[in-house]
Chains A and B, each alone.
Chain A
Amino acid sequence: MLELRSILVKYGKTVAVRKLSLSVNKGDFITILGANGAGKSSTLNAISGIAKVRAGEIDYKGEKINGLKPGTIAAKGIIQIPEGRRLFPLMTVEENLKMGAYLQNDKRRISEALEKVFILFPVLKEKMRAKGRELSGGQQQMAAIARGLMALPELLMFDEPSLGLSPLLRQQLAEKIKEINRDGVTVILVEQNARLGLMLANYGYVLENGELTIQGKTSDLMLDDNVKKAYLGV
């Protein structure tokens, strides 16, 4: 469904991602792991059209998407839940969710999506009138995911959703992401928390200084000595 072919992302002279190729099939759950500055967010931003792809190509359903505007890419169903939640802090949760559905015109599908969101995150129902910045960290993450779901994603990309959450909340979040994937949404999960990524996903990519170093089934990666040493602290 999604195919990255040897992409290059640069900011000025800084190379963020180099010669990265990866592919995602419909219904997959993949994870991208790596340390600080490895190029994980840049990869997602390249897919979303926020970061410029300087070389290589990104295809979605056989069609080249790099070079398209972020909104055009989002309209195809490729949705990112950005690092650090990035809720609209002075908007109510309701307005944040409305912003998620910004490109949607079908009222029926929007209300269906909202129902699903409430089933997944019942707390949000009570928080609809609260402003983004008034939510707790966990609630903010839920609202950020909910906003992403309101965009009717086919491919949902999470950028370090577990950041700043307690172990318990992290566990709950993991369940929710699994549920979203089971519901038919293809998932790319970017994590610094390698354990979480490997536990949830079926296939993993490890980035180091912008380059792909290891890839494979997560069940294999968990046993890989390099991965163990560098990312699992074993």
Chain B
Amino acid sequence: MPPAGIWIDALVQSSTYITMAFGMVLVFSILGILNWAHGQYYMLGAVVVFYGVTAAGVPFPISMLITGLIIAGLGMLVKKVLIDRVSGDLYVGAVTLALIFFLEGLASMLFGMQDKGLANVMPGNMDLGSFSVSYQKIAVVSFTLVVMIAMYIVLNRTKVGLSIRAAAQEPRAASLYGVRVDRVSLIVMGIGCALAAWAGCIMAPVYAINPFIGRIPMIFSLLAIVIGGLGSLSGAIIGGLILGFLNSVMTYYISYYSEVVLFVLVIILLLVRPQGLFGAALK
């Protein structure tokens, strides 16, 4: 049995994947596209919050809030200026792929390639008897929990949420009854990018920050989505949990081989259940 710290790390990892995957699925279910640059919004979240705290001296929670809004705005701008002007899945895919390098390059130019850290935000550990957990990790997990509950409420209890689900399930019928599907997809793009940015913000104190930190979380979130079933929000959450736990626990036992084993497991799962655990339809 791995020590408690491993399980905590599993939860922390899962949290990142869940927040990222949730946003990606949301965007996918409305726009029908995978935003390959999703990980770079995560990276920008960490970078912007770093400057918010260190350069501008804004307290971390407020920096985080503002960062989410800025990146949401950026994501919406990218949708209007780039994505909406291109048609065809392949071309949209190419645009968002190109965006990966553009955003990483931009961050490298402005931010430099070397690691930076925010470790002095929320220092200290919570003592839990036989082991202790850093406040930073507690923040990651509780933030994710709060975000998921908030998303649940928004999607199921508000008019905006109703229109998002309607547009995802039957866009034509939704527009017949007055939903502005173009506007909804813009809002959803904003939400998805804000979620990615917030995942980057909340992880910023835990890991090093550099222009390339978006890649790994992106790959894992993509796997989480595939495991859960493309298009399923609850699938994204379950997929994120499965991956986070498998990866942490296996890393404990077999270190670097973990990722290899993980990919093999995912491939086996997809051979057995090509539609993912939850099928494709839970928008």
| Chain A residues engaging chain B, CB cutoff 8 angstroms | 48, 50, 69-71, 74-75, 79-80, 82, 86-91, 95, 98-100, 102-103, 147, 151
Collect the chain A residues with CB atoms within 8 Å of residue B169's CB: 88-91
Given contacts A88-B166, A102-B163, contact A82 B178 (CB under 8 A): no
Q: Which of B163, B175, B282, B283 is in CB contact (< 8 Å) with A70?
A: B175
Beta-carbon contact of B170 and A88 below 8 Å: yes
Given contacts A70-B178, A71-B178, A102-B178, contact A91 B166 (CB under 8 A): yes
| Minimum C-beta distance from A210 to chain B (A) | 21
| Minimum C-beta distance from B172 to chain A (A) | 7
Collect the chain A residues with CB atoms within 8 Å of residue B174's CB: 88, 99
Beta-carbon contact of B162 and A71 below 8 Å: no
Beta-carbon contact of B179 and A102 below 8 Å: yes
| Minimum C-beta distance from B71 to chain A (A) | 29
User: 8 shortest A-B CB distances, which residue pairs?
Assistant: A71-B178, A103-B178, A86-B173, A88-B169, A70-B175, A102-B178, A102-B177, A74-B178
| Minimum C-beta distance from A99 to chain B (A) | 5
Collect the chain A residues with CB atoms within 8 Å of residue B170's CB: 86-89
> How does the 8 Å CB contact mask read for B152-183 relative to A, with 1 for contact and 0 for none?
00000001001101100110111111111000
Collect the chain A residues with CB atoms within 8 Å of residue B177's CB: 71, 74, 79, 99-100, 102-103, 147, 151
Q: Which of A75, A87, A98, A103 is in CB contact (< 8 Å) with B173?
A: A87
| Minimum C-beta distance from B279 to chain A (A) | 11
| Minimum C-beta distance from B25 to chain A (A) | 14
| Minimum C-beta distance from B139 to chain A (A) | 33
Q: Which of B180, B281, B283 is in CB contact (< 8 Å) with A69?
A: B180
Q: Which of B125-174 contact A (CB under 8 A)?
A: 159, 162-163, 165-166, 169-170, 172-174
Beta-carbon contact of A88 and B175 below 8 Å: no
Beta-carbon contact of A74 and B176 below 8 Å: yes
A-B contact pairs, 21 of them (CB 8 A): A69-B180, A74-B176, A74-B178, A79-B176, A80-B176, A82-B172, A86-B173, A88-B170, A89-B169, A89-B170, A89-B281, A90-B165, A90-B283, A91-B165, A98-B162, A99-B173, A99-B174, A99-B177, A147-B177, A151-B177, A151-B178
DSSP majority for the B interface?
A: helix
Beta-carbon contact of B162 and A99 below 8 Å: yes
| Chain B residues engaging chain A, CB cutoff 8 angstroms | 159, 162-163, 165-166, 169-170, 172-180, 281-283
- CA A98 – CA B174 in complex, angstroms? 11
Collect the chain A residues with CB atoms within 8 Å of residue B162's CB: 91, 95, 98-99, 102
| Minimum C-beta distance from A155 to chain B (A) | 13
| Minimum C-beta distance from A111 to chain B (A) | 17
Collect the chain B residues with CB atoms within 8 Å of residue A82's CB: 172-173, 176
- CA A75 – CA B282 in complex, angstroms? 30
| Minimum C-beta distance from A55 to chain B (A) | 23
Collect the chain A residues with CB atoms within 8 Å of residue B163's CB: 102
- CA A98 – CA B177 in complex, angstroms? 10
| Minimum C-beta distance from B95 to chain A (A) | 24
Collect the chain A residues with CB atoms within 8 Å of residue B165's CB: 88, 90-91, 95
Collect the chain B residues with CB atoms within 8 Å of residue A71's CB: 175, 177-180
- CA A100 – CA B178 in complex, angstroms? 9
Q: Which of B159, B177, B281, B283 has the most CB of A within 10 A?
A: B177
Chain B residue nearest to A72 (CB atoms) is: B178
- CA A82 – CA B173 in complex, angstroms? 7
Chain A residue nearest to B281 (CB atoms) is: A90
Additional pairs, 5, CB under 8 Å, beyond known A88-B170, A88-B173, A102-B163: A88-B169, A88-B174, A95-B165, A99-B173, A100-B177
| Minimum C-beta distance from A11 to chain B (A) | 14
Collect the chain B residues with CB atoms within 8 Å of residue A88's CB: 165-166, 169-170, 173-174
Chain B residue nearest to A89 (CB atoms) is: B169
- CA A16 – CA B159 in complex, angstroms? 35
Collect the chain B residues with CB atoms within 8 Å of residue A79's CB: 176-177
- CA A15 – CA B283 in complex, angstroms? 35
Chain B residue nearest to A98 (CB atoms) is: B162
Collect the chain A residues with CB atoms within 8 Å of residue B282's CB: 90
